[in-house]
Chain A
Amino acid sequence: MKNVMIVGVGGQGTLLTSRIIGKSALALGYDVKISEVHGMAQRGGSVVTFVRYGKKVSEPVVEEGVADVIIAFERLEALRYAHFLKKGGVIVVNDCRIDPMTVVTGAMTYPEDIIKTLEKDYTVYSIDGQKIAKELGNSKVLNSVVLGYATRHLGIDKETVIKTVEQTVPQKTVELNVKAFLSGYNG
């Protein structure tokens, strides 16, 4: 059984990422459940989706202390959900900062050295996905970059994921997304 969490800020493409992972796992013959977030929470809020795959999956959510992999699209969200990881779990962090309104208004401060804090307890891999996406000419492919970077920890081969990306993203953007995926994968 593989328990994967994708966390980020509403609008970063976490939903699409979890769907691609789920579809890839299904292609490999696993039972799959994905739990998504729709509605108000998506409006720039903290967003978490779950993907579970294995022989037989019951509950659609990943519980605290059992995640094998967390893919975090933003540092603060990585910190918020890190305790969902099991001992020895891996957290893949897109090294970017988006201030929540509680920080913008000055009510709270954005924690310093998040990556260092996480490294004390977990195996952390971080990548500046935004920079790579911009270099590719479109910041909207950020999720493909991050997915590519995380794929080696998912127990799913890269060819299967690429095939799912090709089937899932809009036709016009297939080439760019695959390129972004590979940049992340090799990053």
Chain B
Amino acid sequence: MSNKVIMLGNEAIARGAYEAGVTVSSAYPGTPSTEISEILCKYNEVYTEWAPNEKVAVEVAFGASVAGARTLACMKHVGLNVASDPIYTFAYTGVSGGAVIVVADDPGLASSQNEQDTRMIARSAHIPVLEPSDSQEAKDFTVLAYEISEKYDTPVILRTTTKLAHSQSVVEIKDRVEVPLKPYERNVKKYVMMPASAIGRHVYVEEREKRLSEDANTLSVNKIENGDSKIGFITSGIAYQYVKEVCPEASVLKLGLVNPLPKKLIEEFVSSVETVYVFEELEPVIEEQVKSWGLKVLGKELFTRQGEYSANLLRKVLFGKTQEVYQKQQAPNRPPILCPGCPHRSVFSVLKKLKIHASGDIGCYTLGAVAPLDVIDTTVCMGASISALHGMEKAGGKEFIKNWVAVIGDSTFLHTGVNSLINMVYNKATGTVIILDNRTTGMTGHQEHSATGKTLKGEETYAVDLKSLCLAVGVPNVVEINAFDVQTLEKTIKESVLGDVLTVIIAKAPCALLKGQKFLTYNVIDDEKCKKCGMCLKIGCPAISKRDGKMVIDDTMCNGCGLCLNYCKFGAIEVKSR
């Protein structure tokens, strides 16, 4: 009993990597994958690190594998796009030590910019994909992934989704198995992917996939659960749980390996059941292959490609009704917002006052797109704020960008933003880039990065100096400003957007949620001085609201940043000590 614990899916993956003898892990934080590295770093036997981006992480994993170690790289689904360059060719080289890449998809967009399906990329890269359906499987499949990786000489993707990554369930833990480094042998035909070698490896990749797809028919994680012969499901991952919830009596073919597919096993299953549904979130990856073999199954003609699935969704399609529920009450929406004391709000309040548009990026600051701040006009992917602003200038000239800036976080700037900045310098841009430097990777829950001076394991290290970096790549004008100094920010932004030199403004102030932050003051409204003009509400601070016609500041929420003081014309906001 004592070795049974309750674990987050991500925690179970970390445990699986530990038990499998992994010694090197590299990752960039991304919801819903971040916790894997945060938990794995607690095991002293494993070297773990934050890389500046996912491409770097996978290349580190490649190197570690060549050197003979079992290795791990973790990322969210869009991180796979960044890492695709090494991944497609890693599929050709194969491995020495086992290599597993965890990719976390986000159906339902809990914290992402799109709903892409990792299995589609894995198929085109010819990389095997395992998909667990609970925490126990998350651990077991991680261990299995290393066995498959070494047996078939290929990196393996462990695909999770938000519900799996962020659900906890019971896991039986085991001891770690130490796996010694495999001896290194120079092998140009396998590891140097110049055309002459790659031609041969492409042949191998196809042969490997055929072999694995044959073996998949008897692989333990692909299994038929015989039940009702009238109704059956081909399913995998968290969707399997919804099937078991709604149709516990149905026949089920549960796929643990979702690429390549076990054709014979699927043919056997489909021929033994009257009506077969393919129940898979996002894209019809399994369904289209099964249909291409001439088998009759039902899938996306009934089930959506969008969002997360649920038992109720399945119930509705099968039985035409859900559970009986009470009338849903009308309630005002509560979208996520920047926290009280967030330095991004301060910068955005200035942009709003100056009526400046922002080319945005990926981070908490994307929340600057919504009311009442309304300053961000575009968000695509990491680093795009800077390159998009450059594109705008090249299209519309200085006239177009005279009321535009790019905003990007410190971690995101180092992820891929710096490339875009080099492009601006090289190609004679004159725009203004604001680096919102809050000393952490904020949205994913405060991870260190290459400019914080700490490693993933909490050790002291060199901190990249953003100002020196910008100067070194040739930015003519780099200014550091305290993010809460709204007067200086206003003056500097006004000048730089109209000026004709490329400017980087580094707006510095730590994230309000960063550990060790002390808030010694809080703000209160003096009812006698307050004219109820509502200006303080326009900065969108959740601690400030209007109750019974009066402005109030919630003293338990207020972090005393004092931003609101700048926007009260009547001096009605006071500072108090805690």
Q: Do A and B come from one complex?
A: yes
On A, residues with C-beta under 8 Å from B are 9-11, 19, 22-23, 26, 31-46, 57-61, 63-66, 76-77, 79-80, 82-85, 87, 98-111, 117, 121, 130, 139
A110-B169 CB under 8 A given contacts A35-B163, A40-B364: no
A residues within 8 A CB of B238?
A: 59-60
**With A41-B110, A101-B335, A110-B332: A59-B326 Cβ-Cβ less than 8 Å:** no
CA distance A106 to B332 in the complex (A): 11
Interface residues of B (CB under 8 A from A): 4-6, 8, 31-32, 34-35, 110-111, 134, 163, 166-170, 238, 241-242, 244-245, 310-312, 322-339, 364, 366-367, 370-372, 443-445, 537, 540, 542, 544-546, 554, 556-557
Q: Smallest CB–CB gap between B12 and chain A, Å?
A: 13
Contact across chains for B371 and A57 when beta carbons are under 8 A apart: no
**Which of A23, A82, A110 touches B329 (beta carbons < 8 Å)?**
A82
Which one of A32, A61, A101 lies within 8 Å of B540 (CB-CB)? A101
CB within 8 A of B32: which of A38, A80, A101? A38
Given A35-B163, A38-B111: A76 touches B332 (CB 8 Å cut-off): yes
The residues of B that contact A22 with a CB separation of less than 8 Å are 6, 168
What CA separation (Å) do A9 and B331 show in the bound complex? Answer: 14
**A-B pairs, 6 with minimum CB distance:** A39-B111, A39-B31, A45-B336, A65-B325, A100-B334, A65-B323
Q: Are B339 and A65 in contact (CB under 8 A)?
A: no
CA of A185 to CA of B8, assembled, Å? 28
Question: Could you say which of B169, B310, B334, B556 contacts A57, with CB atoms under 8 Å apart?
Answer: B169
Closest CB in chain B relative to A11 CB, distance in Å: 7
**Is there contact, CB below 8 Å, between B326 and A102?**
no
Please tell me if the beta carbons of B245 and A58 are within 8 angstroms of each other in the complex: yes
C-alpha gap A46/B336 in the complex (Å) = 7
Q: How far is the CA of A123 from the CA of B336 in the complex (A)?
A: 29
Q: How far is the CA of A35 from the CA of B327 in the complex (A)?
A: 24
Known pairs A58-B245, A59-B242; A130 contacts B556 (CB<8 A):
yes
Main secondary structure of the interface of B (DSSP, over half): loop
B83 CB to closest chain A CB (Å) equals: 20
Contacts of B242 on A, CB cut-off 8 Å? 58-59
Pairwise interchain contact B335-A102, C-beta atoms closer than 8 A: yes
In angstroms, Cα B534 to Cα A104, docked, is: 10
Task: Tell me the bound Cα distance from A100 to B366 in angstroms.
Answer: 18
**Residue A59 contacts which of B166, B245, B557 (CB distance < 8 angstroms)?**
B245
Which residues in B have their C-beta under 8 angstroms from that of A44? 334, 336-339, 542
Chain A contacts for B241, CB-based, 8 A: 58-60
In the docked arrangement, what's the CA distance between A185 and B507, Å?
47
Asked if A36 and B334 sit within 8 Å, CB to CB, the answer is: no
- Structural contact, B168 and A33, CB atoms closer than 8 A: yes
**Min CB distance, A96 to chain B, in Å?**
10
Chain B residue nearest to A109 (CB atoms) is: B332
Given contacts A39-B443, A101-B542, A104-B546, contact A32 B6 (CB under 8 A): yes
Q: How many Å lie between the Cα of A159 and that of B322 in the bound state?
A: 37
A41 to B444, CA, bound (A): 11
Q: Which chain A residue lies CB-closest to B541?
A: A104
Determine the chain A residues whose CB is within 8 A of the CB of B326 once the complex forms: 65, 82-83, 85, 87, 121
Is the CB–CB distance between B339 and A43 below 8 Å? yes
Since A38-B166, A82-B326 are in contact, a sample of 11 more A-B pairs with Cβ atoms closer than 8 Å, ordered by chain A residue number, is A34-B167, A35-B163, A35-B166, A38-B35, A43-B336, A45-B335, A59-B241, A79-B329, A83-B326, A104-B542, A104-B544
C-alpha spacing A100/B336, complex, angstroms: 9
Cα distance, A121 to B112, chains bound together (Å): 36
